C-alpha cells in the first residue's frame, strides 16, 4: 500500500515521504519471525540468498508475489530474494530495542538515525561502495554526500539511502494516488459536483450514501472511515489537499507547502488536525462515520474498502483490492479533483527520507544487501522494477524502449494478473524516481509515464473518468485544471527557479529530534489521539466546542507551543547554515 506513505524539501518534501506513506502500501502479505536470519532460511548454496527487510508499515503486497517476473529477475541478476518483515511503530521500536534486526532496515532517517547508529544496529556502507555500489556512486552522488554529512549522526559515514530519488519533475501526470478517493461510479451518478472544501466533500458523501446505503451483497455502506495504527496520520494527511499544509520531520508541526514557518498542529486551529476534527465530527453527527473508525487497524479498513463499504478514502492504495477486482467493469475508487492542490508527484533530490534503507549489523550477508541496494539505484534495476523484463514486457522500437502492447493491455486490465508480474508493485523499493532519465536511451526509467502509455494502459475505470472530463487519460484531467489555474501542485512553489536553486532549497537538512524531544513528541501524540476520540464523538456543536477548548488547553499545558517554538528556531538555524 506504498503505504505511508507526503511536502517541503527536506522541510518541504519530507512530507511527501510521509504520504507516500505513501503511496505506498496495498493488500496483504505474510510476515515472518524477525529473529530468523537469512542464512537460517536459505543458503546461497541452495539458490538466492533471502534478505529480510524491516518496514514500518503493514499490508504491503510484496511478500504475496514472490513468484513474480520482477522477483525472479532480481534473483537471477544479483542472487537475492527480498522478504518484508512488517511492523507498526510500536513493534518497530521493540525490534530496535532487541537489537537482532533483519538484514535491511527501512525507516525514517530523520527520526531514527541516532538510535540506529549509536545503538550499533546498522553498519556504514563506505567500504563496500567500490566493489558493490558503483551505480550508487555514479547515479546519486548528491544523496551519498548529503547522507554522510547529515544522516551519519556526526560520523561522516554513509549509513542511509532513501528511495525515489528524482531531481526534476516529469512532463506527464500519471493517475493521481493521493487525495479524496471516491467511488467514481457513484460520484458520477450524482453528477460529480465540485468539491472545493471538506464540507463539500461531506455533502457529496451524504448524497452517495442516501443512494447506496448497502453494497450489492447487503453490507452497510459508510461514507467516511479511518484507521488508528498509523498514529495521527488520519488527522494530518486527508485535509492537506484543502489546507495546503504539511509536515516535515515531526507530526506536531506543519507549514504551507514550500514554506518554512511552522505552526503547531495541535494548538493552531487552522491546522490539518483541527480541520480533520471538524470533518470527522460532522460526519459522525450526520451518521456518515464508520463506528469502528476510532479502533480499527489499517488492514481492517482495507478489508471494508475491498468489500465496497467506504465511499471516500485518502488514497487509491488505501482502498484495498476493490479496484483490482472491479476496475475492468468501470467500478472503483479514483482520486478526483478537489480542494486547492493535486498530488502529481514531486521533486525529490534526496528521495523519500521516511523510507531510507540501511544495512543491519545482524545481517549475515551485508555484501549481498549492498548488491541489492546498488541494483535499485541502477538504471537497469529501476527500469526492471517499474516495467519488467526487456524482450518480455518491453522492447526497443526504432531504438526507443517501449512497453509491449501486451504489457499495456495487461496494465489496463489491472487486477491480480497484472499485480502478479511485480511491475511497479511497490515504489518504496525502487531507488530512482519514475521520471529520472536513463542516459543510455534518453527515456524515463518508468516507461509507463509517457502520455501514449498512460492512455493505452488506462483501466476501464480510468478511461471512463477521463472521458467524463474530456481527457484521454486520468492524469490529463488534473493537468488541464492545473494549466487553467484551478489547482496547484506540490511543486508549484518552485516554478521559475533554476535547477541549482531547486536543488539548494530542497536539500536543507531536516530537524532531528533529541531523545528527550522524541519522548515529548510521543507523549503529545498519545494525548492528541485520546482527545481526538472525545472531540470526534461530540454529540452537537456545543459539545464539540467544549471538547475542543479542553483539548487546546491540554495541548498547551503539555508543551505543544514550546515544541513548535523550538522547532522553528532549529529550522532557522539549518536554513542559515545552508545559505538561505
The model's pLDDT over 176-206, given as tens digits with 9 standing for 90+, comes to 999 999 999 999 999 999 999 999 999 999 9
Is residue 11 predicted with pLDDT exceeding 60?
no
Which pLDDT value is given to residue 197?
Answer: 97
pLDDT in tens, 389-430: 999 999 999 889 999 999 999 988 877 889 899 999 999 999
pLDDT in tens, 349-370: 899 999 999 999 999 999 999 9
What pLDDT was estimated at residue 41?
Answer: 42
Placement of cell 508549484 in the chain: 492
Position with higher pLDDT, 416 vs 132? 132
**What's the distance, Cα to Cα, between the start and end of the chain in Å?**
36
Cβ atoms of 353 and 34 closer than 8 Å:
no
Residues 147, 156: Cα–Cα separation, whole Å: 8
Summarize the chain as % helix, strand, coil (round to 5).
Answer: 45, 15, 40
In DSSP notation, 505-543 reads HT-PPPP---HHHHHHHHHHHHHHHHHHHHHHT-SSHHH
Q: Supply the mean pLDDT for the chain.
A: 89
Mean pLDDT throughout 33-58?
Answer: 65
pTM for the full predicted model:
0.75
Q: Which residue has the higher pLDDT, 434 or 4?
A: 434
Mean pLDDT within 538-565: 98
Q: Which of 571, 558, 427 is nearest to 110 (CA)?
A: 571
- In angstroms, what is the C-alpha Rg of the chain? 23
Is pLDDT at 485 greater than 60 in this prediction? yes
pLDDT at 305 over 70: yes
Higher-scoring residue by pLDDT: 498, 256: 256
> What would the pLDDT profile of 249-266 be if each residue is shown by its tens digit?
899 999 999 999 999 999
Q: For residues 118-148, b (16+ Cβ closer than 10 Å) or e, as one string?
A: eeebbbbbeebbeebbebbeebbeebbebbb
Buried b (16+ CB within 10 A) or exposed e, 421-451: bbbbbbbbbbbbbbbbebeeeebbbbbbbbe
Residue 513 CA to residue 249 CA, distance in Å, equals: 8
% pLDDT > 70, the chain: 92
Contact 65, 115 (CB under 8 A): no
Handedness of CA 153, 158, 160, 162 (dihedral sign): positive
Q: What per-residue confidence (pLDDT) applies to 500?
A: 80
Helix ranges restricted to H, 396-514: 405-413, 415-419, 451-456, 460-468, 474-483, 499-505
Residue 32 has a pLDDT of 41
Torsional sign, CA 147, 151, 152, 156: positive
Q: What is the structure's pLDDT at 46? A: 65
- 452-483: per-residue pLDDT in tens? 899 988 889 999 999 999 999 999 999 999 99
Neighbours of 580 (CB within 10 A): 11
248 closest CA partner among 505, 511, 518 = 511
Summarize the confidence of residues 23-40 as an average pLDDT: 40
C-alpha cell at position 312: 471516500
Confidence of residue 555 (pLDDT cuts 50, 70, 90): very high
Look at the block and give the residue holding cell 518534501. Answer: 13
Provide the pLDDT for residue 431.
97
Amino acid at each position: 500500500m506504498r503505504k505511508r506513505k507526503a511536502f517541503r524539501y527536506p522541510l518541504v518534501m519530507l512530507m511527501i515521504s510521509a504520504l507516500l506513506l505513501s503511496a505506498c502500501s496495498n493488500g496483504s502479505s505474510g510476515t515472518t519471525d524477525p529473529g530468523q536470519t537469512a542464512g537460517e532460511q536459505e543458503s546461497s548454496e541452495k539458490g538466492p540468498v533471502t534478505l529480510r527487510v524491516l518496514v514500518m508499515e503493514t499490508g504491503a503486497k510484496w511478500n504475496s508475489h514472490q513468484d513474480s517476473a520482477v522477483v525472479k529477475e532480481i534473483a537471477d541478476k544479483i542472487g537475492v530474494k527480498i522478504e518484508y518483515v512488517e511492523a507498526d511503530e510500536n513493534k518497530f521500536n521493540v525490534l530496535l530495542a532487541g537489537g537482532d534486526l533483519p538484514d535491511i532496515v527501512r525507516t525514517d532517517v530523520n527520526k531514527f538515525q541516532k538510535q540506529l547508529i549509536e545503538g550499533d544496529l546498522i553498519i556504514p556502507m563506505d567500504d563496500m561502495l567500490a566493489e558493490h555500489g558503483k551505480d550508487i556512486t555514479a547515479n546519486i552522488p548528491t544523496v551519498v554526500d548529503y547522507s554522510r554529512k547529515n544522516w551519519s549522526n556526526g560520523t561522516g559515514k554513509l549509513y542511509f539511502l532513501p528511495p525515489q530519488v528524482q531531481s526534476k519533475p516529469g512532463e506527464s501526470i500519471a493517475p493521481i494516488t493521493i487525495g479524496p478517493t471516491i467511488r467514481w461510479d457513484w460520484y458520477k451518478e450524482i453528477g460529480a459536483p465540485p468539491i472545493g472544501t471538506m464540507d463539500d466533500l461531506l455533502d457529496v458523501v451524504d448524497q452517495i450514501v442516501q443512494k447506496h446505503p448497502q453494497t450489492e451483497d447487503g453490507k452497510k455502506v459508510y461514507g467516511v472511515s479511518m484507521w488508528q495504527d498509523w498514529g495521527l496520520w488520519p488527522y494530518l494527511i486527508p485535509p492537506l489537499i484543502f489546507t495546503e499544509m504539511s509536515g516535515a520531520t515531526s507530526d506536531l508541526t506543519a507549514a504551507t507547502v514550500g514554506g518554512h514557518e511552522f505552526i503547531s498542529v495541535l494548538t493552531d486551529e487552522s491546522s490539518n488536525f483541527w480541520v480533520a476534527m471538524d470533518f470527522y465530527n460532522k460526519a459522525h453527527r450526520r451518521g456518515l462515520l464508520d463506528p469502528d473508525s476510532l479502533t480499527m487497524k489499517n488492514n481492517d479498513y482495507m478489508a471494508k474498502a475491498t468489500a465496497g463499504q467506504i465511499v471516500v478514502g485518502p488514497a487509491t492504495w488505501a482502498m484495498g483490492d476493490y479496484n483490482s477486482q472491479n476496475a475492468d467493469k468501470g467500478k472503483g475508487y479514483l482520486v478526483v479533483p478537489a480542494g486547492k492542490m493535486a498530488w502529481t508527484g514531486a521533486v525529490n533530490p534526496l528521495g523519500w527520507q521516511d523510507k531510507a534503507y540501511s544495512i543491519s549489523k545482524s545481517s549475515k550477508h551485508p555484501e549481498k544487501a549492498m548488491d541489492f541496494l546498488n541494483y535499485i539505484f541502477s538504471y537497469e534495476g529501476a527500469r526492471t522494477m517499474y516495467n519488467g523484463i526487456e524482450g518480455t514486457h518491453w522492447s526497443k522500437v526504432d531504438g526507443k524502449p517501449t512497453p509491449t502492447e501486451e504489457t499495456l493491455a495487461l496494465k489496463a486490465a489491472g487486477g491480480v494478473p497484472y499485480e502478479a508480474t511485480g511491475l511497479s508493485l511497490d515504489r518504496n523499493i525502487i531507488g530512482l524516481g519514475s521520471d529520472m532519465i536513463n542516459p543510455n536511451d534518453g527515456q524515463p526509467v518508468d516507461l509507463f509515464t509517457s502520455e501514449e502509455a498512460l492512455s493505452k494502459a488506462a483501466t476501464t475505470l480510468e478511461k471512463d473518468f477521463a472521458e467524463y472530463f474530456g481527457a484521454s487519460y486520468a492524469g490529463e484531467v488534473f493537468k488541464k485544471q492545473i494549466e487553467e489555474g484551478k489547482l496547484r501542485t506540490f511543486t508549484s512553489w518552485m516554478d521559475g527557479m533554476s535547477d541549482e536553486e531547486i536543488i539548494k532549497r530542497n536539500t536543507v537538512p531536516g530537524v532531528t529530534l533529541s531523545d528527550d524531544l522524541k519522548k515529548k513528541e510521543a507523549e503529545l501524540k498519545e494525548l492528541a489521539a485520546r482527545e481526538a476520540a472525545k472531540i470526534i464523538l461530540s454529540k452537537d456543536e456545543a459539545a464539540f466546542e467544549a471538547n475542543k477548548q479542553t483539548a487546546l488547553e491540554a495541548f498547551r499545558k503539555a508543551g505543544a507551543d514550546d515544541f513548535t517554538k523550538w522547532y522553528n528556531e532549529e529550522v532557522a538555524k539549518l536554513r542559515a547554515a545552508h545559505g538561505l
